[in-house]
Amino acid sequence: MQTLAQYLSAQTISPSLSQLILTLANTSKEISHAVQHGALAGVLGAADSENVQGETQKKLDIITNDMLKDSLAADGHVKALASEEEDFIVPVNPQGEYLVCFDPLDGSSNIDINSLVGTIFSVLPAPAGEATEQSFLQSGRNQVAAGYMLYGPSTMMALTTGNGVQFFTLNPETNEYLLTNEQVTISTDTSEFAINMSNQRFWQAPMQTYIADLLLGEIGPRQKSFNMRWIAAMVGDVHRVLCRGGIFTYPTDNKNPNKPYKLRLMYEANPMALLVEQAQGKASTGYQDILDIEPEHIHQRVAVILGSANEVATCLEYHQQNYNDQEPAL
C-alpha cells in the first residue's frame, strides 16, 4: 500500500502543497492520539470559554486548534489561517503561498460520549500582499486541496487535490497514513437520508415537503422506503455518504431568527462540497451550488444539501416550486 507521502509525490501538485498536506496529516496523528486518550489525558469536558459564534468551547476544541495553529506556523508555506475557533484570521508567514481554513474538531458535542469526531480543512491560494480577511473571501472552486480526518474506530483521512477523492487509513503500528480507497465515488441514487429531525417544525416549506415525502415510503410519491442516520458530526455523516451514498442536509430553519443556518461555509461546507463533487455527488444550498458562493465573511454560515447526485437533484426540485418562502439573507 502507498503511504500518503508516496501518493502525493506521484501527483501533479506543487511540492509546497504536498508538504502542507503532510503537515496537516502529521498534526492529525497527534489529535488522534489526544482523542484516543480521552479522560486518561484529561482532555474531555467544556472549557470556560465561548468562540466568536457564541458556542461553548470544549477543551479539545482549544487543544486541537492550538495544535493546528502551531504546526501550520512551522510549516512555512502558510500565509494565514482562519479557524472556527479564532475570532479573526491569523497571519502566519508573509512569504506563504497558501491560506488554510479549518474546523479543528467537528462534532465536538460527541466528544464526551466517546462518539465520532473529526477535523475538516480547506486550502486556498494566497493572493499577493498582506493577508487580510478579504484574502480568504474566495469561492470554494478556488480550493487547491480539501479533506477531513475522522477519529473513529480507525483514524482515516479523505483528501482531494482536484484528482478525485482518496481515503487513507492510519496504521496504528507504523503511525503512517496508507492509501486504502482510490477514486471514491458516491452512488448516484440512494435510499438513505441524514437530517436532524427534531428541527422539523422550524424548516421551510420545500424541506418540510421533501422529507415528508421520504417518510411516506412506498405509499408516497417516491414509491420506496428510506432509512435515516444522524451522527451529529458532519465528518461522520459525510464519510458515510462517500462510502455508501445518501443525502445529508442541515437546512435553513427559523428556530433562532438570528441564526438561520448551522454549518459554516469556509470550515465545513466548502471543503465537504469539493470532496462530494470530486466523488461525482452534488452539494447545494437549495438555490445554488455551495462552491459558487462568493463569501462575505469568514464565519458565514450556509444551508447544506449534499450527497448522491440524483437525490440532491430531487430535493432541489422541491426548492424550485413556489412556496412563497424567501431564503434568509446570509
- Tell me whether residue 303 or residue 309 sits nearer to Mn ion (CB atom): 303
Q: How far is the CB of 314 from ligand AHG (least distance, A)?
A: 21
If binding is defined by CB under 5 A, does position 237 make contact with Mn ion?
Answer: no
Applying CB under 6 A, does 234 fall inside the site for ligand AHG?
yes
CB nearer to ligand AHG: pick between 58 and 77: 58
Which residues within the stretch 20-59 sit at the binding site for ligand AHG (CB under 6 A)?
none
Closest to 286 (Cα-Cα) out of 257, 262, 255, 252: 252
Residue 142 sits at φ, ψ, to 5 deg, of -80, -10
Q: Which of 58, 60, 103, 251 binds Mn ion (CB under 5 A)?
A: 103
Mask for 240-259, x = binds ligand AHG (CB under 6 A): ----------x---------
User: Within its chain, how far is the Cα of 99 from the centroid?
Assistant: 16
198, 182 Cβ separation under 8 angstroms: no
Q: Which residues within the stretch 83-122 sit at the binding site for ligand AHG (CB under 6 A)?
A: 84, 103, 106-109
Q: Which does 232 bind (CB under 5 to 8 A by kind): Mn ion, ligand AHG, none?
A: ligand AHG
Burial of 16 (0-12, 13-18, 19+ CB in 10 A): middle
CB atoms within 10 A of CB 87: 11
Closest CA to 4 of 174, 141, 256, 222: 174
Among Mn ion, ligand AHG, none, the one that 192 touches (CB under a kind-dependent 5 to 8 A) is none
The residues, ordered by sequence, that sit 6+ positions from 289 with a Cβ below 8 Å of its Cβ are: 273, 282, 283
Q: Compute how many residues bind ligand AHG; rule: CB under 6 A.
A: 12
Residues 306, 160: Cα–Cα separation, whole Å: 17
Which residue lies nearer to ligand AHG by CB, 105 or 291? 105
Instruction: Report, in Å, the least distance between residue 164 CB and ligand AHG.
Output: 24
Residues forming the site for Mn ion (CB under 5 A): 84, 103, 105-106
